[in-house]
Amino acid sequence: MSQRDNSYAAVMARSNEIMKASVGMDYDDYVISPIAFDYERMMHDTGYTHAEIVKIQSETKVGNTPLFELKRLTEAVRKISEPGKGARILLKDEAANASGSFKARRAALSVFEAARKGFKGVVAATSGNYGAAVASQANQRDLKCIVIQEVFDSRGVGQPEIIEKGRKCEAYGAEVIKLTVGPELFYIHLLTLEQTGFFNASLYTPFGIRGVETLGTEIAEEVRIRYGKDPDAVIITHAGGGNLTGTARGLLAAGADKTRIVACSVDLSGLHMASDTDFNKKSFTTGHTGFGVPFATWPDRADVPRNAARSMRYMDEYQLVTQGEVFFVTELLTKLEGIERGPAGNTSLTAAITMARQMDRDQIVVVQETEYTGAGKHHNSQLSFARENGIKVYVGDPAENVPGKTIVLPERLDQVRGKAQDLESLKLSYLRNAARRHPVQAWTDEDISFLAQDIKSTPEWVRANLPTD
Amino acid sequence: MAKIEKGSWVEIKQVVLQPEERAQNLPEDTKQTPYVMRMSGFLTADAELGDTVTIRSLIGREHEGTLVTLNPSYSHSFGPTMAELLHIGIDEEAK
């Protein structure tokens, strides 16, 4: 192994063979063209039934989390809504999973699969809650775990939330490789997979996505039992697309096909995700538009050849919220509902306030996750760090939020408004990205059918909107 | 400089890629910086800060780098109180 050329270019050139060995599946089996592939067959071939996934997760302290009705927050929203408006807000308390977030669902199936296939360890490349989730699951299945994180800028400064996530991985006994800002994390990831022969517990394999399906089915089943109907809308924090894809698939599997699937991201437009100086100017490390928009408009940019997280297949709406609005709502959740949860997990709760105001009182909107909180992973940590890094933090009109420059905490609940992201423009952007990978002239009927399904549209719409440049 | 004993919990630093070896299409600011890795583990032989050393990670893998910290710790906190947050939820929303 040590004789191999481990230069950046050489390792990147071995990407496909490393991936094939480390995921234990051959993506070539599903490829139809440079853009199209057999998505449903790939998901089906994971070989797990819903009941088996539930059992696997229950063995390692995952799933069956509480679904809380947020009565005081719902009341507060009704007070600022038009008569007859103000949907009931429910919250799925995913912080109750082992390791404190919904990511345990994704990790549970991946780590189980790794153990089943005889791998000695797992590798996850993530600065998010997923690292701790994989480490926690690996402990329970007696596997070794390596987490590769983008942690700090060139000064060696890391924002408190990421530092906390690194601490948690190390607390579970994982080896944590901490890196400065840059996409070369993928290089380290490949090198680590090759050197160890461990399983690639990518967020974007079919296992990583199918593990989230139980979240969707739990929501559908519990809302039916308690309220005698399906949820009208489920709001899902969106970054790489796995949370949305898995939850939506679970809802559909449970027959909740009328439920609106609403994506939500923190608006960080204007900040460059690979910029050393912008790195510590953002208070959210995930669940933001810096991942949400690129992954929606082209999912196949992940650490696997074909991404199983394909958010636009399921998305009905996309709401954007500001950092200040999320911090405000995080504090409000604590004060009104008596539970402290991490701010990143409250992104979708923030959008729920806007949504609930527009929906009828007899409707139900479900916020499908929470995450744990503590030092570093707390809105006070985030805001004080932002202020130390030159961000202006003040109370006022959240419309004045400028990512990287200001964080404006709303004065009142009725200023929590968010804004809708235009889905049509994202779909057009998706088609342009597809055209970059495979020229439009070469698109077959099968390609067009794939693209249409991949953005929840029709072949006619795709044909009417073919990219021209 | 004081000797750090074999077996101590330490942090190493390693330049993985020099600026000119980095990926294409990086923003200008990132392009000018090296790509750096840090990690913690148990020191495999006595050494001093600044030495090139080998550590054994929590899962038993060995890594080489420059010894930068003895007993690396987590000191992240809740930060100085942001009084702006304290007003939220105790006024009209809560009534």
- pLDDT tens-digit series, residues A107-158: 999 999 999 999 999 999 998 899 999 999 999 999 999 999 999 999 999 9
DSSP string of A208-220, one letter each residue: HHHHHHHHHHHHH
**Rounded average pLDDT over B75-82:** 96
List A residues 185-204 in contact with B (Cβ-Cβ < 8 A).
187-188, 196
CA distance A445 to A432: 17
How confident is the model at residue B55, as a pLDDT? 98
C-alpha closest to that of A200 among A210, A209, A189, A211 = A189
Sign of the Cα pseudo-torsion (B35, A297, A132, A163, in order): positive
**Residue where a domain stops, chosen among A398, A420, A442:** A420
- pLDDT tens-digit series, residues B6-41: 999 999 999 999 999 999 889 999 999 999 999 999
Beta carbons of A383 and B90 less than 8 Å apart: no
Residue A174 in contact with partner chain B when CB distance is under 8 A: yes
A431 inside domain: no
The residue segments making up the domain with residue A394 are 65-100+213-420
CA distance A461 to A463: 5
- Looking at the structure, tell me whether residues A136 and A149 fall in a common domain: yes
- Looking at the structure, tell me whether residues A323 and A402 fall in a common domain: yes
- Looking at the structure, tell me whether residues A284 and A264 fall in a common domain: yes
**Residue where a domain stops, chosen among A206, A226, A251:** A206
Count CB atoms within 10 A of the CB of residue A108: 32
User: How many residues in chain B?
Assistant: 95
A376 inside domain: yes
DSSP class of residue A207? H
**Residue where a domain stops, chosen among A166, A184, A206:** A206
User: Taking CB atoms and an 8 Å cutoff, what residues of chain B touch A151?
Assistant: 38
Whether the CB-CB separation of A330 and A379 falls below 8 Å is answered with yes
- Both tokens of A118, joined, read 């005889």
Task: Label residue A376 left, alpha or beta by phi (over 0 means left) and psi (-120 to 50 means alpha).
Answer: left
How confident is the model at residue A208, as a pLDDT? 93
- Looking at the structure, tell me whether residues A202 and A233 fall in a common domain: no
User: Taking CB atoms and an 8 Å cutoff, what residues of chain B touch A144?
Assistant: 59-60
Identify the closest residue of chain A to B27 by CA–CA distance: A275
Q: Tens-of-pLDDT digits for all 469 residues of chain A?
A: 457 899 999 999 999 889 889 998 889 999 999 999 999 999 999 999 999 999 999 999 999 999 999 999 999 999 999 999 999 999 999 999 999 999 999 999 999 999 999 999 999 999 889 999 999 999 999 999 999 999 999 999 999 999 999 999 999 999 999 999 999 999 999 999 999 999 999 999 999 999 999 999 999 999 999 999 999 999 999 999 999 999 999 999 999 999 999 999 999 998 888 899 999 988 888 899 999 999 999 999 888 889 999 999 999 999 999 999 999 999 999 999 999 999 999 999 999 999 999 999 999 999 999 999 999 999 999 999 999 999 999 999 999 999 999 999 999 999 999 999 999 999 999 999 999 999 999 999 999 999 999 999 999 999 999 998 6
- Looking at the structure, tell me whether residues A278 and A404 fall in a common domain: yes
A437 inside domain: no
A426 inside domain: no
A169's CB contacts (< 8 A; 6+ apart) are A131, A132, A135, A145, A147, A149, A176
CA distance A30 to A290: 29
Q: Tell me the nearest-neighbour CA distance from A143 into chain B, angstroms.
A: 10
Q: What is the 3-state secondary structure (H, E, C) of A342-359?
A: CCHHHHHHHHHHHHHHHC
- Looking at the structure, tell me whether residues A199 and A249 fall in a common domain: no
| Partner residue opposite A182 with nearest CB, options B35, B57, B85 | B35
A223: domain CATH number? 3.40.50.1100
- Looking at the structure, tell me whether residues A93 and A238 fall in a common domain: yes
Percent of chain B with pLDDT over 70: 95
Q: What are the residue ranges of helices labelled H in A1-126?
A: 8-13, 15-23, 39-44, 50-59, 71-79, 103-116
Question: How far, rounded to the nearest angstrom, does the alpha carbon of residue A225 sit from its chain's CA centroid?
Answer: 28
Whether the CB-CB separation of A145 and A130 falls below 8 Å is answered with no
- Looking at the structure, tell me whether residues A85 and A33 fall in a common domain: no
Decide if pLDDT at B93 tops 60.
Answer: no
Residue A37 in contact with partner chain B when CB distance is under 8 A: no
Beta carbons of B92 and A412 less than 8 Å apart: yes
- Which amino acid is present at A329? V
A466 inside domain: no
- Which amino acid is present at B38? R
- Looking at the structure, tell me whether residues A83 and A156 fall in a common domain: no
A441 inside domain: no
Beta carbons of A179 and B89 less than 8 Å apart: no
> Which CA distances in Å does B39 have to A163, A178, B48, B56, B74?
13, 6, 17, 10, 13
Beta carbons of A380 and B85 less than 8 Å apart: yes
| Partner residue opposite A331 with nearest CB, options B29, B35, B88 | B88
Residue A273 in contact with partner chain B when CB distance is under 8 A: no
Q: What is the 3-state secondary structure (H, E, C) of A167-187?
A: HHHHHCCCEEEEEECCCCHHH
- Looking at the structure, tell me whether residues A87 and A127 fall in a common domain: no
| Partner residue opposite A277 with nearest CB, options B29, B59, B87 | B29
pLDDT band with cut points at 50, 70 and 90 for residue B95: very low
Residue A379 in contact with partner chain B when CB distance is under 8 A: yes
B28: three-class secondary structure by DSSP: helix
CA distance A93 to A108: 17
- Looking at the structure, tell me whether residues A281 and A177 fall in a common domain: no
Whether the CB-CB separation of A404 and A278 falls below 8 Å is answered with yes
Whether the CB-CB separation of A363 and A262 falls below 8 Å is answered with no
| Partner residue opposite A275 with nearest CB, options B16, B30, B92 | B30
Biggest alpha carbon–alpha carbon distance for chain A: 72
Q: Tell me the nearest-neighbour CA distance from A174 into chain B, angstroms.
A: 6
CA distance A410 to A398: 5
- Looking at the structure, tell me whether residues A50 and A71 fall in a common domain: no
How confident is the model at residue A230, as a pLDDT? 98
How confident is the model at residue A3, as a pLDDT? 72
Domain count, chain A: 2
Assembly ipTM = 0.96
CA distance A409 to B91: 15
